[in-house]
């Protein structure tokens, strides 16, 4: 996805891939120590071989990984300026979020674009929630996530907040669910019509009775 930022700059939001095996470590090495510490919750900037392999091979089933790259004239990619990933735990329906933006490119809207794309992936995948662990000292990240609907799970523990975002079902899913309910109501209304001898004139009563049965609503 190509995007024009508020300051007129252009970025490309795209999936991580094996070709990023050099560019991604280089990106992390360019982060200042404080940003790297906030991203990894520790003093490190290097990925292990296993971590690099996992991050650059997202399957978008239980692991989504994206980067934002600067676009030069003609749409050519330049360097990675932000990265984000979500790792799903299907037993709980929760995905764990990790995200960072290069120091010189923060507050340009890039992090928001990455987060929106990851939330949409989680929604389409059918996940119920996205969680993130944020250092209590990382006020910028806490405010960034709070503005986008994330809420804390209790108080900080050992200087770390766990925050979460509840994923609303996709509009398509809600429409499909509504369509399924209507079909069930229609079938039950016809069963009631047959049960009372197919006498005409009580179609609305049959429909309302079927709706109460299927949807669990009262007649009040």
Q: What total of structural domains would you count in the chain?
A: 2
* Residue at 197 is within a domain: yes
pLDDT at 191: 87
Domain co-membership, 102 together with 208: no
Domain co-membership, 119 together with 186: no
CB proximity list for 6: less than 8 A, separation 6 or greater? 108, 109
Q: Is the per-residue pLDDT at 175 higher than 60? A: no
Domain co-membership, 121 together with 185: no
Cα distances (Å, whole numbers) of residue 89 to 26, 61, 154: 29, 11, 21
Span 9-59, pLDDT tens digits: 999 999 999 999 999 999 999 999 999 999 999 888 789 999 999 999 999
Q: Is the per-residue pLDDT at 171 higher than 70? A: no
pLDDT at 170: 64
pTM value surpassing 0.85: no
Domain co-membership, 121 together with 178: no
DSSP per residue, the chain: -EEE-TTS-EEEEEE--GGGGTHHHHHHHHS-HHHHHHHHTSS--PPPHHHHHHHT---SSSEEEEEEEEE-GGG-EEEEEEEEEEEEETTTTEEEEEEEE-GGGTTSSHHHHHHHHHHHHHHHHT--EEEEEEETT-HHHHHHHHHTT-EE-SS-BTTEEEEEEEPPPPHHHHHHHHHHHHHHHHHHHHHHHHHTTS-SS-HHHHHHHHHHHHH-----
Domain co-membership, 185 together with 104: no
* Residue at 163 is within a domain: no
Q: Which residue has the higher pLDDT, 109 or 196?
A: 109
Domain co-membership, 102 together with 202: no
Domain co-membership, 24 together with 78: yes
Domain co-membership, 41 together with 120: yes
* Residue at 49 is within a domain: yes
* Residue at 143 is within a domain: no
pLDDT at 199: 76
Domain co-membership, 14 together with 122: yes
Q: Which pair of structure tokens corresponds to residue 181?
A: 């309910």
For residue 36, give the CATH number of its domain. Answer: 3.40.630.30
* Residue at 120 is within a domain: yes
Domain co-membership, 106 together with 50: yes
Q: Is the per-residue pLDDT at 64 higher than 50? A: yes
Domain co-membership, 104 together with 177: no
* Residue at 32 is within a domain: yes
The range of the structural domain enclosing residue 189 comes to 172-215
Q: What is the mean pLDDT of residues 103-129?
A: 94
Domain co-membership, 12 together with 69: yes
Residue closest to 37 by CA, chosen among 157, 145, 159, 156: 159
* Residue at 116 is within a domain: yes
Q: Which residue has the tokens 């980067």?
A: 67
CA angle 175, 181, 186 (to 5 degrees): 125
pLDDT at 213: 85
Span 201-218, pLDDT tens digits: 777 778 888 888 887 754
Task: Measure the CA–CA gap between 88 and 78, rounded to whole angstroms.
Answer: 30
* Residue at 207 is within a domain: yes
């Amino acid at each position: 996805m190509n995007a024009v930022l508020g300051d007129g700059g252009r970025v490309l939001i795209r999936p991580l891939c094996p070709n990023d095996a050099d560019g991604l470590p280089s990106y992390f090495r360019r982060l200042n120590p404080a940003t790297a510490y906030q991203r990894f919750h520790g003093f490190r900037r290097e990925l292990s071989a296993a971590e690099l392999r996992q991050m650059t091979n997202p399957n978008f089933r239980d692991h989504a990984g994206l980067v934002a790259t600067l676009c030069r004239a003609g749409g050519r990619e330049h360097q990675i300026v932000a990265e984000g990933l979500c790792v799903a735990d299907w037993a709980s329906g929760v995905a764990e979020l990790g995200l960072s933006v290069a120091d010189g490119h923060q507050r340009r809207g890039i992090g928001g674009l990455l987060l929106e794309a990851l939330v949409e992936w989680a929604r389409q995948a059918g996940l119920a929630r996205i969680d993130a662990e944020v250092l209590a000292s990382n006020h910028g990240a806490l405010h960034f996530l709070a503005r986008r609907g994330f809420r804390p799970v209790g108080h900080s523990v050992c200087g770390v907040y766990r925050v979460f975002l509840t994923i609303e079902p996709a509009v398509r899913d809600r429409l499909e669910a509504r369509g399924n309910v209507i079909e069930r109501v229609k079938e039950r209304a016809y069963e009631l019509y047959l049960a009372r001898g197919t006498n005409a004139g009580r179609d609305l009563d049959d429909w309302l009775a079927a709706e109460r049965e299927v949807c669990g609503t009262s007649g009040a």
